[in-house]
Structures are given as C-alpha cells and as structure tokens.
Amino acid sequence: VLPGRLKVRADALRAAVVPLPGVRPDDAAVRPETLALLALACRDGERIRFVYTDGEGTRSNRHVEPFRLVVTARRWYLVARDMDKGEWRSFRLDRLENPQPTGQRSLPADPPDAARFVAEGIASGAYRYQARVLVAAPADVVAARIPGLGAVVEAVSESACLVISGSNYLDMIALHFAALDLPFTPLEPPELRERCAALSRRLGEAAGG
C-alpha cells in the first residue's frame, strides 16, 4: 500500500539491514532520510561521501563503497570499504554527517560478515587486550549468559564455542569468564592464563582465610 517512492526505500532498507542477535531495531534511533539514503546506496552499490567524526573527535572526509547497515541495541553502523585506505571499516551513523551519493557504482570485493565485523569491533576492537577463549558449552548457552554486546560467540562444536572479548584489564576478562560458571580455556593472549592462575591463588587464599 506504500507509494512507489517509499516502497523502493522500504525494500532497500529490508535488503541492506543486518540485526545483531537479540537486538530490537526500534531501540536504535537515527534520521530516517540518512537511513534511507544509505540503504539505497548499499542496495545499488553506489559510492558515497560523508564527513565522519571518530571516537577521539577528529573529523575527516570519507569516500566509501557501502555494503550493509548493522543495527545494535543502541546504534546503527554502516559497514563499508574505505576507498582511500583500502580497508573495511564500520561507521557509527550518529557520527556520520552529510552523506552524499556520488553517482559512481561498484560492488566491494570480498565483503565480510557484516554483523560479525561490527560485533567484533564493539566487543574487542577498542580495548588494550583482545581475548580468545574456548568455553566448554554450547554457543547458545554461553550467549545467553553474556549481557548485551560483551562478546562474539562462535560455535566450534555442539558442546563448545569460541568467545572473543576485550578489556583494558586482563583481570576483568578472567573474572568475566569465571562468572559464566562454565569450564573455559584461555587461548589468547598468553598472559591471560597467568592472570587466571594468579586470581585463582588469590581467591583460594581468601577462601582459606
């Protein structure tokens, strides 16, 4: 029942958006005209330009090949290949200004899994330490015990999964996994095993005392 122009935009949005598991899209507000423009650019493979402000407040002009829009519990992200840097990037839409279509069309080569790309960036990309931990439990069980976007959970078998998470402090990572109350094996970084051992001794002394 939508007018033709709006139906095109709605179809583009449906095709371009990838939600992360457990996220309600209505929780993440963004200007509808920006969302529609980016969705059409993703669908049609049209390059766009915009001004972007990074987490440190630095503004820059960007020229990208858009691929997908990803919605999280609070944010929208554009996954695109940066034409100037030749790298895949995710851009928060609330930091993106004045998006402009260029009229140039191209399809980005070797696109990533957009949802995983954003989730990994949120879970570990901004932290000093990025941890990879093998947990002896099904992926859905582990995901249910990790709040929000605290980690990326990837099944490796029916009874085990790989968890990618990050923090500026190794002790926080160790305590986070201990709190899952599930058997786990730290894989990376190597120092994480040492911190788990140190915390184990400390907690054992506290219990003994």
pTM as predicted: 0.60
Judge whether residue 4 has pLDDT over 70. Answer: no
Beta-strand pair 59-71/87-92: unpaired
| Cβ proximity of 48 and 56 under 8 Å | no
Name the β-bridge partners of 63: 49
Q: Residue 109's pLDDT is what?
A: 85
Res. 196 pLDDT band, cuts 50 70 90: very high
Return d(Cα 163, Cα 145) in angstroms, integer: 12
Give the mean pLDDT of 99-118. 88
User: For the chain, what is the mean pLDDT?
Assistant: 84
Distances (CA, A) of 205 to 93, 95, 174, 191: 49, 48, 17, 21
Q: Which residue has the higher pLDDT, 44 or 73?
A: 44
Res. 113 pLDDT band, cuts 50 70 90: confident
Give the mean pLDDT of 83-91. 92
Judge whether residue 14 has pLDDT over 50. Answer: yes
Q: What is the pLDDT of residues 122-160, one digit of tens each?
A: 766 667 888 899 999 999 999 888 865 567 888 999 999
Judge whether residue 26 has pLDDT over 60. Answer: no
Q: What is the pLDDT of residues 170-179, one digit of tens each?
A: 998 999 899 9
Most confident segment among 29-33, 55-59, 180-184, 200-204? 180-184
Residue type, 28: A
| Cβ proximity of 97 and 50 under 8 Å | yes
